[in-house]
Amino acid sequence: MRIFTFPREHQDDGGIYLVFYLDQYNLTVNMRFHTSISEFRTRLSSSESQAKITKSDLDQFYIQLKTFDSRFKLFPKYYHNYIENLNRLRPDLDDTHPDWTFLKIALADKKSKPTKTLPIFVYHIKYVYKITSPLFIAHQKKQNLKKLNAPAKLEAKNNKPKSSKEWIRVPMPRNQPRK
């Protein structure tokens, strides 16, 4: 990440404009992080490929994570916590049948755990920054409540009593005199 300001003659009203951008090196390093995780995610996707994972493959994956330098990235704490969580869930391959369940859940491709640069930035805007996060969280809660209440509303419409749906036919006697 590089921070620079425009020269004084290009600034309006004397304000300081900071522009953040990622140079090509940072983008390639971030994509390397994403590709290593996505490759291992695809290897864990089927049980046949899980059986083919050796201890050296697992060690190589964790060495890639350990050597990833997140100090000069845009969100170093996010990358550090992500890698720390994966290290915590490392399966033991000394067992005959290692349990991959927790690692599969941790590596799952979700909006709440992005691995690409731009989705991580959007994640921080939506959920981490104190200025913008209450707006997005309130909107998300509202949408979830609509989804939860939608089946109840349909059920209420469909469960009306039969009398309100259909006409009731009342027989009139034919031989009754009129008054």
Give the model confidence (pLDDT) of 54-105 as tens digits.
Answer: 888 889 999 998 888 777 677 888 889 999 999 998 888 777 777 888 888 8
| pTM for this model (two decimals) | 0.62
CA 101/CA 115 separation, integer angstroms = 20
For the chain, the domain total comes to 2
* 95 and 125, same domain (yes or no): no
Q: Are 93 and 55 in contact (CB under 8 A)?
A: yes
Residue type, 151: P
Residues 58 and 91 in one domain: yes
Look at residue 45 and tell me if it is in a domain: yes
Nearest to 75 by CA among 131, 1, 127: 1
Residues 18 and 97 in one domain: yes
Are 56 and 136 members of one domain? no
Give me the amino acid identity at 29. V
Q: What is the pLDDT of residues 115-150, one digit of tens each?
A: 888 888 888 888 888 888 888 889 989 998 888 877
Q: Are residues 104 and 34 in the same domain?
A: yes
> Two tokens at 47?
């049980």
Q: What is the pLDDT of residue 163?
A: 59
pLDDT, residue 54, reads: 84
Same domain, 36 and 80: yes
Res 14: pLDDT:
40
Assigned domain for 63 exists? yes
pLDDT average, residue stretch 20-48: 76
* Dihedral pair phi/psi, residue 118, rounded to 5°: -65, -45
What's the domain range around 22?
A: 2-111
Which of 129, 100, 128, 93 minimizes the C-alpha distance to 112? 128
Q: Are residues 103 and 143 in the same domain?
A: no
Q: What is the pLDDT of residue 73?
A: 73
Tokens read off for 119 = 């989705």
Query: How far is residue 36's CA from residue 151's CA, in Å, rounded to a whole number?
Result: 41
Q: What is the pLDDT of residue 84?
A: 92
- Domain assignment of residue 167, yes or no: no
